[in-house]
Amino acid sequence: MKIKILEKKHNPFLKREELRVEIEHEKETTPSLSHLQQAISKEIDKGADHVDIRNIFSFRGAPKSNSKVFIWEEKHVKKKKEPVKEEPAKEEKTNEEKKD
């Protein structure tokens, strides 16, 4: 698997590097998120917890993929979204109940 950086942008507000990379995976399947995360962390000499793979898009019929990657200055852990708890609807008092 060969990784080529196509675009690199520094985002000082969010304290990260934003990369657009091309992955050549000759005679292999499209790499998984974790496999790509490990490969990029080795290439940039940072821990895997600094690397956040946003997506991987494969080209149809070609052993190439494009990916968007964020390299965080500080350790980054993805938080799983918790389901939103819905509160029961409040019943409105009728005009007769309001008179009491």
Question: What distance lies between CA 80 and its chain's CA centroid?
Answer: 12
- How far does the chain reach from its first CA to its final CA, in angstroms? 76
Res 98: pLDDT: 57
Give SS3 for 3.
Answer: strand
Q: Measure the CA dihedral 48/51/54/58, to 10°.
A: -70
Show the domains of the chain with their CATH numbers: 2-72 (3.30.70.330)
Which stretches in the chain have pLDDT values below 70?
76-100
Q: Are 23 and 77 in contact (CB under 8 A)?
A: no
Question: What are the backbone angles phi and psi of residue 27, rounded to the nearest 5°?
Answer: 60, 25
pTM given for the model: 0.70
- Per-residue pLDDT of 33-56, as tens digits, reads 999 999 999 988 888 889 999 999
> Which residues lie below 8 Å from residue 1, measured CB to CB, with a gap of 6+?
23, 24, 25, 28, 31, 39
